[in-house]
Protein backbone atom coordinates (compact mmCIF):
# COMPACT_ATOMS: atom_id res chain seq x y z
CA UNK A 1 0.00 0.00 0.00
CA UNK A 2 1.10 3.60 -0.52
CA UNK A 3 1.50 5.13 2.91
CA UNK A 4 2.28 8.71 3.91
CA UNK A 5 3.95 9.04 7.31
CA UNK A 6 3.64 12.65 8.43
CA UNK A 7 6.43 13.57 10.83
CA UNK A 8 10.21 13.13 10.86
CA UNK A 9 10.68 12.33 14.57
CA UNK A 10 11.41 8.98 16.16
CA UNK A 11 7.81 7.77 15.76
CA UNK A 12 7.72 8.73 12.08
CA UNK A 13 11.12 7.19 11.44
CA UNK A 14 10.37 3.95 13.25
CA UNK A 15 6.99 3.54 11.56
CA UNK A 16 8.41 4.36 8.13
CA UNK A 17 11.22 1.84 8.54
CA UNK A 18 8.82 -0.88 9.65
CA UNK A 19 6.33 -0.16 6.86
CA UNK A 20 9.10 -0.18 4.28
CA UNK A 21 10.36 -3.50 5.64
CA UNK A 22 6.79 -4.76 5.17
CA UNK A 23 7.13 -3.67 1.52
CA UNK A 24 4.74 -0.76 1.60
CA UNK A 25 5.59 2.25 -0.53
CA UNK A 26 6.43 4.88 2.08
CA UNK A 27 6.85 8.61 1.83
CA UNK A 28 7.64 10.66 4.90
CA UNK A 29 5.98 14.06 4.87
CA UNK A 30 7.48 17.17 6.41
CA UNK A 31 7.00 20.90 6.28
CA UNK A 32 10.16 21.69 4.31
CA UNK A 33 12.35 18.98 2.78
CA UNK A 34 15.32 21.30 2.26
CA UNK A 35 15.31 22.30 5.92
CA UNK A 36 14.94 18.70 7.12
CA UNK A 37 17.80 17.46 4.91
CA UNK A 38 20.02 20.37 5.96
CA UNK A 39 19.96 19.36 9.63
CA UNK A 40 23.43 18.16 10.47
CA UNK A 41 23.37 17.89 14.24
CA UNK A 42 21.95 15.17 16.48
CA UNK A 43 18.38 15.94 17.60
CA UNK A 44 17.33 16.75 21.18
CA UNK A 45 17.36 13.05 22.03
CA UNK A 46 20.86 12.50 20.61
CA UNK A 47 19.65 10.68 17.51
CA UNK A 48 21.61 11.23 14.28
CA UNK A 49 20.48 13.89 11.79
CA UNK A 50 17.45 12.88 9.71
CA UNK A 51 19.41 12.70 6.42
CA UNK A 52 21.83 10.16 7.95
CA UNK A 53 18.89 8.04 9.06
CA UNK A 54 17.16 8.37 5.67
CA UNK A 55 20.33 7.37 3.80
CA UNK A 56 19.98 3.88 5.29
CA UNK A 57 16.54 3.36 3.70
CA UNK A 58 16.75 3.72 -0.05
CA UNK A 59 13.08 2.84 -0.52
CA UNK A 60 11.74 5.55 1.80
CA UNK A 61 10.98 8.84 0.09
CA UNK A 62 10.74 12.29 1.60
CA UNK A 63 8.28 14.95 0.48
CA UNK A 64 6.31 17.87 1.76
CA UNK A 65 3.18 17.13 3.80
CA UNK A 66 1.16 17.87 0.65
CA UNK A 67 3.12 15.63 -1.72
CA UNK A 68 3.21 12.78 0.79
CA UNK A 69 -0.50 13.04 1.59
CA UNK A 70 -1.38 13.10 -2.12
CA UNK A 71 0.58 9.89 -2.66
CA UNK A 72 -0.67 8.09 0.46
CA UNK A 73 -3.69 5.83 0.31
CA UNK A 74 -3.31 5.70 4.10
CA UNK A 75 -2.09 8.71 6.06
CA UNK A 76 -0.31 8.21 9.37
CA UNK A 77 -0.16 11.27 11.58
CA UNK A 78 3.10 10.89 13.49
CA UNK A 79 3.70 14.60 13.92
CA UNK A 80 4.30 16.28 17.25
CA UNK A 81 0.80 16.89 18.63
CA UNK A 82 1.49 20.61 18.95
CA UNK A 83 2.04 20.79 15.17
CA UNK A 84 -0.61 18.30 14.04
CA UNK A 85 -3.39 20.65 12.90
CA UNK A 86 -0.93 22.84 10.98
CA UNK A 87 0.67 19.78 9.36
CA UNK A 88 -2.71 18.46 8.24
CA UNK A 89 -3.61 21.87 6.85
CA UNK A 90 -0.42 21.80 4.80
CA UNK A 91 -1.21 18.21 3.76
CA UNK A 92 -4.34 19.63 2.18
CA UNK A 93 -8.00 18.75 2.67
CA UNK A 94 -8.37 17.19 -0.79
CA UNK A 95 -5.41 14.88 -0.12
CA UNK A 96 -7.04 13.63 3.10
CA UNK A 97 -10.58 13.27 1.83
CA UNK A 98 -12.00 9.74 2.05
CA UNK A 99 -8.69 8.42 3.34
CA UNK A 100 -7.90 6.74 6.62
CA UNK A 101 -5.90 8.99 8.93
CA UNK A 102 -4.21 6.76 11.48
CA UNK A 103 -3.52 9.23 14.28
CA UNK A 104 -0.69 8.08 16.55
CA UNK A 105 0.07 11.56 17.91
CA UNK A 106 -0.49 12.89 21.40
CA UNK A 107 -1.47 16.37 22.56
CA UNK A 108 1.60 16.62 24.80
CA UNK A 109 3.06 19.98 25.70
CA UNK A 110 6.57 19.71 27.11
CA UNK A 111 7.20 23.46 26.91
CA UNK A 112 7.29 23.67 30.71
CA UNK A 113 9.39 20.52 31.12
CA UNK A 114 8.37 17.38 32.99
CA UNK A 115 5.65 16.51 33.77
CA UNK A 116 4.12 17.56 30.46
CA UNK A 117 0.55 18.75 30.16
CA UNK A 118 -2.05 17.97 27.53
CA UNK A 119 -3.13 20.97 25.46
CA UNK A 120 -6.47 19.33 24.82
CA UNK A 121 -8.11 16.78 27.12
CA UNK A 122 -11.07 15.85 29.28
CA UNK A 123 -13.93 17.28 27.18
CA UNK A 124 -12.25 16.93 23.79
CA UNK A 125 -9.27 15.21 22.18
CA UNK A 126 -6.83 15.81 19.36
CA UNK A 127 -8.33 12.88 17.43
CA UNK A 128 -11.80 14.44 17.67
CA UNK A 129 -10.39 17.81 16.55
CA UNK A 130 -8.92 16.12 13.47
CA UNK A 131 -12.18 14.29 12.73
CA UNK A 132 -14.19 17.52 13.08
CA UNK A 133 -11.79 19.47 10.85
CA UNK A 134 -11.75 16.72 8.18
CA UNK A 135 -15.23 15.15 8.29
CA UNK A 136 -14.59 13.31 4.99
CA UNK A 137 -11.52 11.55 6.40
CA UNK A 138 -11.76 8.39 8.47
CA UNK A 139 -9.78 9.10 11.61
CA UNK A 140 -8.61 6.11 13.62
CA UNK A 141 -6.67 6.72 16.80
CA UNK A 142 -4.28 3.96 17.74
CA UNK A 143 -0.72 3.18 18.87
CA UNK A 144 -0.45 6.44 20.84
CA UNK A 145 -0.22 4.63 24.19
CA UNK A 146 3.33 3.31 23.89
CA UNK A 147 6.72 4.28 22.52
CA UNK A 148 7.85 3.85 18.92
CA UNK A 149 9.78 0.64 19.55
CA UNK A 150 6.81 -1.10 21.16
CA UNK A 151 4.46 0.23 18.44
CA UNK A 152 6.35 -1.50 15.65
CA UNK A 153 7.51 -4.51 17.63
CA UNK A 154 5.22 -5.46 20.52
CA UNK A 155 7.61 -8.26 21.53
CA UNK A 156 9.94 -5.55 22.91
CA UNK A 157 7.65 -5.93 25.95
CA UNK A 158 7.42 -9.63 26.92
CA UNK A 159 4.04 -11.34 27.12
CA UNK A 160 0.62 -10.22 26.02
CA UNK A 161 -0.32 -6.56 26.32
CA UNK A 162 -2.83 -4.28 24.65
CA UNK A 163 -3.21 -1.73 21.93
CA UNK A 164 -6.36 0.34 21.59
CA UNK A 165 -8.34 1.49 18.56
CA UNK A 166 -10.82 4.37 18.48
CA UNK A 167 -12.78 5.62 15.50
CA UNK A 168 -16.17 6.11 13.88
CA UNK A 169 -15.62 4.06 10.73
CA UNK A 170 -15.71 0.28 11.14
CA UNK A 171 -13.99 -0.51 7.84
CA UNK A 172 -11.20 1.97 8.61
CA UNK A 173 -10.70 0.34 12.02
CA UNK A 174 -10.61 -3.09 10.36
CA UNK A 175 -7.89 -1.84 7.99
CA UNK A 176 -5.87 -0.40 10.89
CA UNK A 177 -6.21 -3.70 12.76
CA UNK A 178 -4.68 -5.49 9.76
CA UNK A 179 -1.78 -3.06 9.89
CA UNK A 180 -1.39 -3.72 13.63
CA UNK A 181 -1.40 -7.46 12.92
CA UNK A 182 1.44 -6.93 10.44
CA UNK A 183 3.45 -5.20 13.19
CA UNK A 184 2.99 -8.26 15.41
CA UNK A 185 -0.13 -7.27 17.39
CA UNK A 186 -2.37 -10.29 17.91
CA UNK A 187 -6.11 -9.78 17.38
CA UNK A 188 -6.86 -10.74 20.98
CA UNK A 189 -4.63 -7.91 22.20
CA UNK A 190 -6.33 -5.23 20.10
CA UNK A 191 -9.15 -3.51 22.00
CA UNK A 192 -11.68 -1.53 19.97
CA UNK A 193 -12.94 1.03 22.47
CA UNK A 194 -15.63 2.48 20.24
CA UNK A 195 -16.10 5.77 18.43
CA UNK A 196 -13.60 8.59 18.07
CA UNK A 197 -14.77 10.19 21.33
CA UNK A 198 -13.19 7.29 23.23
CA UNK A 199 -9.80 8.61 22.04
CA UNK A 200 -10.11 11.03 24.97
CA UNK A 201 -9.41 8.01 27.13
CA UNK A 202 -6.25 6.85 25.39
CA UNK A 203 -4.94 10.42 25.07
CA UNK A 204 -5.44 11.04 28.80
CA UNK A 205 -3.88 7.67 29.55
CA UNK A 206 -0.71 9.03 27.96
CA UNK A 207 -0.32 11.47 30.84
CA UNK A 208 -0.31 8.45 33.19
CA UNK A 209 2.16 6.74 30.82
CA UNK A 210 4.45 9.79 31.03
CA UNK A 211 4.31 9.68 34.84
CA UNK A 212 5.18 5.96 34.80
CA UNK A 213 8.04 6.75 32.39
CA UNK A 214 9.30 9.09 35.12
CA UNK A 215 8.98 6.31 37.69
CA UNK A 216 10.53 3.52 35.60
CA UNK A 217 13.04 5.66 33.66
CA UNK A 218 12.25 3.62 30.57
CA UNK A 219 9.50 3.72 27.99
CA UNK A 220 9.70 0.04 27.15
CA UNK A 221 6.54 -0.95 28.99
CA UNK A 222 2.87 -1.33 28.23
CA UNK A 223 -0.33 -2.37 29.97
CA UNK A 224 -2.39 -5.50 29.84
CA UNK A 225 -6.06 -5.29 30.71
CA UNK A 226 -6.88 -8.01 33.22
CA UNK A 227 -10.48 -9.06 33.67
CA UNK B 1 -6.24 0.68 64.20
CA UNK B 2 -8.93 3.35 64.50
CA UNK B 3 -9.96 4.28 60.98
CA UNK B 4 -12.32 6.99 59.75
CA UNK B 5 -13.89 6.28 56.39
CA UNK B 6 -15.30 9.52 55.01
CA UNK B 7 -18.16 8.85 52.60
CA UNK B 8 -21.28 6.68 52.66
CA UNK B 9 -21.25 5.52 49.03
CA UNK B 10 -20.29 2.12 47.68
CA UNK B 11 -16.56 2.78 48.09
CA UNK B 12 -16.98 3.91 51.69
CA UNK B 13 -19.28 0.99 52.50
CA UNK B 14 -17.05 -1.62 50.89
CA UNK B 15 -13.91 -0.27 52.55
CA UNK B 16 -15.60 0.01 55.94
CA UNK B 17 -16.87 -3.57 55.74
CA UNK B 18 -13.46 -4.90 54.78
CA UNK B 19 -11.65 -2.90 57.46
CA UNK B 20 -14.14 -4.06 60.09
CA UNK B 21 -13.66 -7.67 58.97
CA UNK B 22 -9.91 -7.06 59.47
CA UNK B 23 -10.79 -6.01 63.05
CA UNK B 24 -10.05 -2.34 62.73
CA UNK B 25 -12.27 0.06 64.69
CA UNK B 26 -14.20 1.78 61.92
CA UNK B 27 -16.34 4.88 61.92
CA UNK B 28 -17.96 6.11 58.73
CA UNK B 29 -18.09 9.89 58.48
CA UNK B 30 -20.86 11.81 56.79
CA UNK B 31 -22.20 15.32 56.66
CA UNK B 32 -25.39 14.66 58.62
CA UNK B 33 -26.07 11.35 60.37
CA UNK B 34 -29.81 12.01 60.77
CA UNK B 35 -30.20 12.66 57.05
CA UNK B 36 -28.15 9.58 56.09
CA UNK B 37 -30.12 7.29 58.43
CA UNK B 38 -33.45 8.73 57.24
CA UNK B 39 -32.83 7.63 53.63
CA UNK B 40 -35.33 4.90 52.94
CA UNK B 41 -35.08 4.43 49.19
CA UNK B 42 -32.51 2.57 47.11
CA UNK B 43 -29.73 4.85 45.89
CA UNK B 44 -29.12 5.81 42.24
CA UNK B 45 -27.38 2.49 41.64
CA UNK B 46 -30.21 0.44 43.15
CA UNK B 47 -28.34 -0.38 46.34
CA UNK B 48 -30.39 -0.60 49.55
CA UNK B 49 -30.69 2.44 51.85
CA UNK B 50 -27.57 3.13 53.94
CA UNK B 51 -29.27 2.26 57.24
CA UNK B 52 -30.17 -1.22 55.96
CA UNK B 53 -26.57 -1.78 54.94
CA UNK B 54 -25.25 -0.44 58.26
CA UNK B 55 -27.59 -2.69 60.25
CA UNK B 56 -25.61 -5.70 59.00
CA UNK B 57 -22.38 -4.43 60.56
CA UNK B 58 -22.79 -3.95 64.28
CA UNK B 59 -19.13 -2.97 64.75
CA UNK B 60 -19.20 -0.11 62.24
CA UNK B 61 -20.11 3.26 63.71
CA UNK B 62 -21.51 6.29 61.97
CA UNK B 63 -20.61 9.87 62.87
CA UNK B 64 -20.24 13.28 61.38
CA UNK B 65 -17.10 13.98 59.33
CA UNK B 66 -15.69 15.80 62.41
CA UNK B 67 -16.42 13.06 64.94
CA UNK B 68 -15.11 10.33 62.62
CA UNK B 69 -11.95 12.26 61.74
CA UNK B 70 -11.27 12.97 65.41
CA UNK B 71 -11.48 9.26 66.21
CA UNK B 72 -9.50 8.07 63.21
CA UNK B 73 -5.76 7.51 63.45
CA UNK B 74 -5.98 6.96 59.69
CA UNK B 75 -8.45 8.91 57.55
CA UNK B 76 -9.72 7.42 54.31
CA UNK B 77 -11.25 9.89 51.90
CA UNK B 78 -13.92 7.89 50.07
CA UNK B 79 -16.19 10.85 49.41
CA UNK B 80 -17.44 11.83 45.99
CA UNK B 81 -14.62 13.92 44.52
CA UNK B 82 -16.98 16.85 43.95
CA UNK B 83 -17.61 17.00 47.71
CA UNK B 84 -14.13 16.14 48.98
CA UNK B 85 -12.81 19.59 49.90
CA UNK B 86 -16.03 20.47 51.71
CA UNK B 87 -16.04 17.13 53.56
CA UNK B 88 -12.46 17.65 54.73
CA UNK B 89 -13.29 21.16 55.86
CA UNK B 90 -16.11 19.72 57.96
CA UNK B 91 -13.73 17.02 59.23
CA UNK B 92 -11.67 19.85 60.66
CA UNK B 93 -8.03 20.77 60.18
CA UNK B 94 -7.04 19.80 63.73
CA UNK B 95 -8.53 16.32 63.25
CA UNK B 96 -6.45 15.78 60.10
CA UNK B 97 -3.17 17.22 61.34
CA UNK B 98 -0.25 14.75 61.33
CA UNK B 99 -2.53 11.96 60.17
CA UNK B 100 -2.38 9.90 57.03
CA UNK B 101 -5.16 10.78 54.61
CA UNK B 102 -5.56 7.85 52.23
CA UNK B 103 -7.28 9.51 49.29
CA UNK B 104 -9.19 7.02 47.15
CA UNK B 105 -11.47 9.63 45.57
CA UNK B 106 -11.55 10.83 41.98
CA UNK B 107 -12.32 14.28 40.58
CA UNK B 108 -15.10 12.90 38.38
CA UNK B 109 -17.95 15.12 37.27
CA UNK B 110 -20.90 13.12 35.95
CA UNK B 111 -23.22 16.13 35.91
CA UNK B 112 -23.33 16.03 32.11
CA UNK B 113 -23.70 12.24 31.94
CA UNK B 114 -21.31 9.83 30.25
CA UNK B 115 -18.48 10.30 29.52
CA UNK B 116 -17.68 12.17 32.72
CA UNK B 117 -15.08 14.92 32.87
CA UNK B 118 -12.47 15.63 35.52
CA UNK B 119 -12.97 18.92 37.37
CA UNK B 120 -9.25 19.10 38.05
CA UNK B 121 -6.57 17.49 35.91
CA UNK B 122 -3.50 17.93 33.76
CA UNK B 123 -1.68 20.65 35.71
CA UNK B 124 -3.05 19.78 39.15
CA UNK B 125 -4.89 16.97 40.93
CA UNK B 126 -7.38 16.52 43.72
CA UNK B 127 -4.70 14.79 45.82
CA UNK B 128 -2.39 17.78 45.42
CA UNK B 129 -5.22 20.14 46.34
CA UNK B 130 -5.79 18.18 49.56
CA UNK B 131 -2.07 18.15 50.37
CA UNK B 132 -1.81 21.92 49.77
CA UNK B 133 -4.89 22.64 51.90
CA UNK B 134 -3.67 20.39 54.75
CA UNK B 135 0.13 20.62 54.69
CA UNK B 136 0.39 18.93 58.11
CA UNK B 137 -1.45 15.85 56.87
CA UNK B 138 0.29 13.05 55.01
CA UNK B 139 -1.74 12.53 51.85
CA UNK B 140 -1.33 9.21 50.07
CA UNK B 141 -3.27 8.63 46.89
CA UNK B 142 -4.06 5.01 46.16
CA UNK B 143 -6.81 2.58 45.14
CA UNK B 144 -8.56 5.18 42.97
CA UNK B 145 -7.84 3.25 39.75
CA UNK B 146 -10.35 0.44 40.20
CA UNK B 147 -13.82 -0.21 41.55
CA UNK B 148 -14.67 -0.88 45.19
CA UNK B 149 -14.85 -4.66 44.81
CA UNK B 150 -11.39 -4.90 43.28
CA UNK B 151 -9.99 -2.43 45.87
CA UNK B 152 -10.88 -4.67 48.78
CA UNK B 153 -10.46 -8.00 47.02
CA UNK B 154 -7.93 -7.93 44.17
CA UNK B 155 -8.69 -11.58 43.38
CA UNK B 156 -12.00 -10.40 41.88
CA UNK B 157 -9.75 -9.85 38.83
CA UNK B 158 -7.81 -13.05 38.10
CA UNK B 159 -4.02 -12.98 37.96
CA UNK B 160 -1.53 -10.30 38.92
CA UNK B 161 -2.42 -6.65 38.36
CA UNK B 162 -1.33 -3.38 39.84
CA UNK B 163 -2.25 -0.77 42.39
CA UNK B 164 -0.45 2.57 42.55
CA UNK B 165 0.70 4.69 45.46
CA UNK B 166 1.53 8.40 45.30
CA UNK B 167 2.62 10.64 48.15
CA UNK B 168 5.34 12.77 49.68
CA UNK B 169 5.77 10.90 52.98
CA UNK B 170 7.64 7.60 52.82
CA UNK B 171 6.45 6.31 56.20
CA UNK B 172 2.84 7.12 55.30
CA UNK B 173 3.20 5.24 52.02
CA UNK B 174 4.72 2.29 53.90
CA UNK B 175 1.69 2.24 56.22
CA UNK B 176 -0.71 2.37 53.28
CA UNK B 177 1.16 -0.49 51.61
CA UNK B 178 0.62 -2.59 54.75
CA UNK B 179 -3.09 -1.84 54.52
CA UNK B 180 -3.05 -2.83 50.82
CA UNK B 181 -1.29 -6.08 51.77
CA UNK B 182 -4.08 -6.78 54.26
CA UNK B 183 -6.62 -6.39 51.43
CA UNK B 184 -4.73 -9.00 49.42
CA UNK B 185 -2.43 -6.79 47.33
CA UNK B 186 0.99 -8.42 47.00
CA UNK B 187 4.04 -6.18 47.42
CA UNK B 188 5.22 -6.89 43.88
CA UNK B 189 1.94 -5.56 42.51
CA UNK B 190 2.13 -2.25 44.39
CA UNK B 191 3.84 0.47 42.34
CA UNK B 192 5.10 3.53 44.20
CA UNK B 193 5.04 6.21 41.50
CA UNK B 194 6.69 8.90 43.58
CA UNK B 195 5.53 12.14 45.18
CA UNK B 196 1.98 13.45 45.37
CA UNK B 197 2.32 15.20 42.00
CA UNK B 198 2.31 11.78 40.33
CA UNK B 199 -1.31 11.42 41.48
CA UNK B 200 -2.13 13.50 38.38
CA UNK B 201 -1.27 10.38 36.45
CA UNK B 202 -3.55 7.99 38.31
CA UNK B 203 -6.40 10.51 38.42
CA UNK B 204 -6.18 11.06 34.65
CA UNK B 205 -5.96 7.31 34.15
CA UNK B 206 -9.42 7.11 35.70
CA UNK B 207 -10.87 8.88 32.67
CA UNK B 208 -9.41 6.07 30.53
CA UNK B 209 -10.82 3.56 33.05
CA UNK B 210 -14.28 5.14 32.67
CA UNK B 211 -14.02 4.87 28.87
CA UNK B 212 -13.05 1.19 29.17
CA UNK B 213 -15.97 0.70 31.58
CA UNK B 214 -18.15 1.99 28.71
CA UNK B 215 -16.52 -0.50 26.34
CA UNK B 216 -16.60 -3.54 28.63
CA UNK B 217 -19.87 -2.71 30.46
CA UNK B 218 -18.25 -3.92 33.67
CA UNK B 219 -15.91 -2.36 36.20
CA UNK B 220 -14.37 -5.65 37.27
CA UNK B 221 -11.07 -5.15 35.45
CA UNK B 222 -7.67 -3.69 36.17
CA UNK B 223 -4.32 -3.21 34.45
CA UNK B 224 -1.04 -5.00 34.75
CA UNK B 225 2.09 -3.13 33.81
CA UNK B 226 4.16 -5.30 31.48
CA UNK B 227 7.84 -4.55 31.02
Closest CA in chain B for residue A155: B227
Is residue B43's pLDDT more than 90?
Answer: no
Query: To the nearest whole percent, how much of chain B has pLDDT over 70?
Result: 100
Distance CA(B93)–CA(B137), nearest Å, equals 9
Torsion of CA A132, A134, A136, A141, to 10 degrees: -70
Minimal Cβ distance to A117: which of B123, B201, B227 = B123
Angle between helices B199-216 and B126-133 (to 10 degrees): 140
Integer angstrom CA distances of residue B89 from A71, B27, B65, B155, B194: 61, 18, 9, 35, 26
Question: Are the CB atoms for A4 and A75 separated by under 8 Å?
Answer: yes
Tell me the pLDDT tens digit for each residue of B159-209.
999 999 999 999 999 999 999 999 999 999 999 999 999 999 999 999 999
Distance CA(A84)–CA(A77), nearest Å, equals 7
Q: Does B117 touch chain A (CB under 8 A)?
A: yes
Question: Are the CB atoms for A203 and A106 separated by under 8 Å?
Answer: yes
Q: Which residue(s) pair with A194 in the sheet?
A: A166
- pTM, two decimals, is 0.96
Distance, in angstroms, between A42 CA and closest chain B CA? Answer: 28
Q: Which residues of chain A have pLDDT under 50?
A: none
Distance, in angstroms, between B114 CA and closest chain A CA? Answer: 11
ipTM: 0.96
Query: What's the pLDDT score for residue A222?
Result: 98
Question: Are the CB atoms for B215 and A227 separated by under 8 Å?
Answer: no
Q: State how beta strands B138-142 and B163-167 pair.
A: antiparallel
* Average pLDDT rounded to a whole number, residues B68-79: 98
Is residue B214's pLDDT more than 90?
Answer: yes
Contact A194 B204 (CB under 8 A): no
Q: Does A215 touch chain B (CB under 8 A)?
A: yes
Contact A221 B225 (CB under 8 A): yes
Query: What's the pLDDT score for residue A26?
Result: 98
Interface test with A, best of B109, B115, B185, B211 (most A CBs within 10 A): B211
Tell me the pLDDT tens digit for each residue of B80-104.
999 999 999 999 999 999 999 999 9
Tell me the pLDDT tens digit for each residue of A39-94.
999 988 889 999 999 999 999 999 999 999 999 999 999 999 999 999 999 999 99
Is residue B66's pLDDT more than 90?
Answer: yes
Burial of B113-132, coded b for 16+ CB within 10 Å and e otherwise, reads eebbbbebbbebbbbbbbbe
User: What's the whole-number average pLDDT of chain B?
Assistant: 97
Query: What's the pLDDT score for residue A190?
Result: 98
Q: Does B227 touch chain A (CB under 8 A)?
A: yes
Angle between helices A84-91 and A126-133 (to 10 degrees): 20
Amino acid sequence: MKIAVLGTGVVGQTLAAKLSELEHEVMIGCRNTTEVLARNKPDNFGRPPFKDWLAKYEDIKLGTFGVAAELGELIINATNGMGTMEALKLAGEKNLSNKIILDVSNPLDFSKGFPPSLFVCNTDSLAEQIQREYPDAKVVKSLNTMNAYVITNPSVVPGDHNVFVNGNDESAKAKVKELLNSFGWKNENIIDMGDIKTARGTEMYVFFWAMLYGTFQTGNFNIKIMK
